């Protein structure tokens, strides 16, 4: 979708400017601004990531900054002749990215405010337990120790609890690789319920069923044929009293609706996935 979208926008840009000479102003601003941003980011990397002295960082980047700023300033003279085009694209992309970031923050804040402690909830449930059915239920939850919305809806509407219940949180770390020996963190909650944290590096390829097979021999046996994966499919409801402008909340709601599902990302078997929806106001 992104590739085809870029193709359409490129065709529209060519039709709008009609010639490469008309695109020169847009190209100049795009390149010089990219050079300027790279220089600024270089300063932050060598200063705050690598920890070099401030004086050395300023000396290493200030010359490039002055040169890049001079090039960018001179290209601003062509702003009305097509230089506005890359700035308009940048503003649009930045708005979409910032809306997604702020929307996720508001969504997580709302979910955290409404979260129920998992251990206390299970203790209350097993005082008068519902009917237990055979098989394993895997409930995905964003934060360990909280009750997944999918479980609440399953108990409310189906009034049953599986024989074995796994409460799984997938954590993506800011390291390239996490070995299989550190993939799982297990905590027994009693009554055949387990809290599971699955760890991935950003270069690991997520595969939740494969990761859960690592539980074999650690006090638990997972049978893929009798395992069901319960996911919460949240629908965002914008409100006038939210933390963003109303149009940004509507944009985030549409982006969230079109986002790829967790089932495909985690390679869950399609014939074993149960999605239970809920509406969340932000």
**65-92 pLDDT tens trace:** 999 999 999 988 888 888 888 899 899 9
pTM for the model stands at 0.78
Q: What is the pLDDT of residue 242?
A: 66
Q: What is the pLDDT of residue 100?
A: 94
Q: What is the pLDDT of residue 257?
A: 86
Structural contact between residues 72 and 32, judged by C-beta atoms closer than 8 angstroms:
yes
Query: CA distances (Å), 234 to each of 92, 116, 237, in order?
Result: 26, 17, 9
Query: Strands (DSSP E) along 11-154, which ranges?
Result: 131-140
**Distance between CA 145 and CA 120 in Å, rounded?**
10
| Weakly modelled stretches of the chain, pLDDT under 50 | none
Q: What is the pLDDT of residue 281?
A: 81
Phi, psi torsion values for 132, nearest 5 degrees? -95, 130
Q: What is the pLDDT of residue 69?
A: 95
Structural contact between residues 81 and 110, judged by C-beta atoms closer than 8 angstroms:
no
In the chain the first and final C-alpha atoms are separated, in Å, by: 28
Q: What is the pLDDT of residue 9?
A: 87
Q: 3-state SS of the chain: helix, strand, coil percent to 5?
A: 55, 20, 25
Q: Parallel, antiparallel, or unpaired for β 193-200 and 184-190?
A: antiparallel
Q: What is the pLDDT of residue 276?
A: 83
């Amino acid at each position: 979708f992104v590739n085809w979208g870029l193709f359409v926008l490129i065709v529209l840009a060519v039709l709008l400017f009609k010639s490469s000479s008309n695109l020169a102003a847009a190209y100049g601003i795009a390149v010089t601004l990219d050079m300027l941003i790279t220089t600024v980011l270089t300063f932050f990397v060598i200063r705050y990531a690598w920890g070099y002295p401030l004086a050395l960082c300023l000396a290493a980047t200030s010359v490039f900054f002055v040169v890049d700023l001079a090039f960018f300033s001179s290209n601003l003279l062509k702003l009305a002749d097509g230089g506005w085009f890359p700035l308009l694209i940048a503003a649009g992309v930045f708005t979409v990215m910032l809306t997604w970031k702020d929307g996720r923050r508001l969504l997580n804040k709302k979910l955290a405010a409404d979260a129920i402690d998992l251990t206390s909830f299970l203790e209350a449930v097993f005082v008068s337990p519902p009917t237990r059915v055979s098989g394993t239920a895997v409930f995905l939850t964003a934060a360990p120790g909280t009750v997944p919305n999918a479980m609440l809806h399953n108990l409310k509407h189906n009034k049953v609890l599986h024989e074995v219940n796994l409460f799984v949180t997938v954590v993506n770390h800011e390291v390239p690789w996490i070995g299989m020996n550190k993939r799982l963190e297990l905590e027994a909650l009693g009554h055949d319920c387990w809290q599971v944290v699955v760890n991935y590096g950003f270069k690991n390829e997520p595969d939740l069923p494969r990761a859960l097979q690592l539980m074999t021999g650690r006090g638990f046996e997972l049978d893929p044929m009798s395992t069901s994966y319960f996911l919460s499919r949240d629908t965002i409801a914008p409100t006038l009293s939210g933390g963003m402008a109303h149009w940004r909340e509507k944009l985030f709601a549409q982006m969230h609706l079109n986002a790829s599902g967790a089932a495909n990302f985690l390679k869950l078997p399609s014939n074993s996935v149960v999605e239970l929806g809920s509406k969340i106001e932000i």
